[in-house]
Amino acid sequence: MSDYKQVKLISIYMYISELYEMELQYCCQRQSNNSSPEFTDQEVMSIYLFAITEQKYFQIKDIYLFAKEYLHSWFPKLPSYQAFNNRLNRLSEAFKTLAIGLFTNYTPENCDLKTSLTDSMPIVTCMQKNRKAKVAREVVDKGWCSTKNMYYYGLKLHLLGFRRPGTIPFPEFIGLTSASENDLTAFKELFGDNIYDRVIFGDRIFFDQSYFDNKWSEQNIQMLTPIKLVKGETESIRQREKAYRDLYSASVSKVRQPVESFFNWLNEKTKIQEAQKVRSTNGLTVHVFGKIAAAFLFLIF
């Protein structure tokens, strides 16, 4: 392993160890005689994150085999694959805390704190539309992804991110829902009560005049979306308003387009959308928030 990658591994391990002492340990307390295992939680998390960010291994089996082959001198107490996988799943809440902390504590200076973008992306556990979900049934269900023109079983990852002119947005909040959840409903449940003094750009599905009129008066929130056709409107009015509406809708879409680039960047760095090999609810949490943490560690280190 090159000197550069050795420094990266050490940096990630030291960072995780510091956070573990501060807060992550409280997400994975053990009430057993094995409360201090020889192979530590810090080592488990460091191997997982390093293998994704530096080696581009995205499946747990590949991550483990890489560690066994090339990192044994660094982690001599590496357990069996089954034990390693079980340990990862027990750290699901630690990965969630880590991911949220990374984008909460490292907000770039070029973020426009008064302007946000919002959208969602699918996390796919099963793609065949005629098959039923067999994994994490309490959190996944069947949904439709219009951008990919497909039915799938899985989750939706919802983003509310600060706008950064000229580049991808930076997350303020990230949340998960089942695949069938409407994006507007998810926005109301996940983000709506937590933000103030904001102009938000979203897709047409976020249009809800009465809801955002209330948010405007109560929280100074304004949602801008491409214009939807008005049911029952006459053709003459549509033709008269067409030029204005097309220009306005194109302007809104142009501003919100970087949120799609954010999801493309996240998936390119981590393959977060591909969760077909996940076998448990905790494993799905590790898959999502572990990949998010890895992506933002890539930016930090």
Q: What is the pLDDT of residue 238?
A: 72
- Exposed, middle or buried: residue 289 (CB in 10 Å: 0-12, 13-18, 19+)? buried
91-105 per-position pLDDT tens digit: 999 999 999 999 888
Q: What is the pLDDT of residue 30?
A: 58
The residue ranges of every structural domain in the chain are 3-90, 110-278
Question: Using the 8-state DSSP alphabet, how is residue 247 labeled?
Answer: H
* Contact of 203 with 228, CB cutoff 8 Å: no
pLDDT at 89 over 80: yes
226-272 per-position pLDDT tens digit: 987 767 666 777 777 778 788 989 999 999 999 999 999 999 999 99
What does the pLDDT average to over 78-94?
95
The structure's pTM equals 0.90
Q: Which of 195, 190, 182, 202 is nearest to 249 (CA)?
A: 202
Question: Using the 8-state DSSP alphabet, how is residue 207 labeled?
Answer: -
Q: Which of 105, 100, 266 is nearest to 174 (CA)?
A: 100
- Residue 111 has phi, psi (to 5 degrees) of -75, 135
260-280 per-position pLDDT tens digit: 999 999 999 999 999 999 989
Query: Exposed e or buried b for every residue in 65-82, given b needs 16+ CB within 10 A?
Result: ebbeeebeebbeebbeee
What does the pLDDT average to over 6-13?
94
Euclidean distance between CA atoms 21 and 1, whole angstroms: 28
